[in-house]
Amino acid sequence: MTQRLFGITGWKNSGKTTLTERLVTELTQRGYRVSTVKHAHHAFEIDTPRTDSFRHRAAGASEVAIVSSTRWALMHELRGEGEPTLDAIIARLEPCDLVLVEGFKAAPHPKIECRRTASKERTPMLGTIPAIAAIAADHAVEEAAVSVYDIDDVAAIAAFIVSQTGLA
């Protein structure tokens, strides 16, 4: 199954995570099954020392699955391998209606660029990274060659994504 992808991108503190979270809520309330992929530019830890799963990874396991009656997680240690591509990660996801991708600026899937006045980085991404289909901002955006939405108008942004991805 080819997953429908739509990206949420922007500079640090531009509102990407908040918008992604709000879109997941909006789209799942509309009946869509949504998955997300979040790119991190830094090392991160989702497991803590002294847990059994941490000990398994520390011992050298390449993958560790944690399973309970409420959720399961699979951790894959790269152990010197390169960072996987977005396509490789998408291929591991269960089928869903839509995958919202936070980050992965250079990937070719359509994206909405988040802009917030409070963000220290003000350089627009539109025109410098591929496939920006719209802008979500908390301020006026002059002369944009794409649709512009108020960053808090989640219903309108969700409708745009549904239309752009062919979910409608």
Per-residue pLDDT of the chain (168 residues; tens, 9 = 90+): 468 999 999 998 999 999 999 999 999 999 999 999 999 877 777 888 889 999 999 899 999 999 999 999 998 988 888 999 999 999 999 999 999 999 899 999 999 999 998 887 778 899 899 999 999 999 999 878 999 999 999 999 999 999 999 998
DSSP label at residue 129: B
**Is residue 158 within 8 Å of residue 51, measured between CB atoms?**
no
Q: How many CA atoms lie within 13 A of 71 on its CB side?
A: 2
Q: Minimal CA–CA distance to 133: which of 145, 119, 121?
A: 145
Q: Which residues contact 94 (CB under 8 A, 6 or more apart)?
A: 35
Q: At 49, phi and psi to the nearest 5?
A: -55, 150
Q: Identify the pLDDT of residue 2.
A: 66
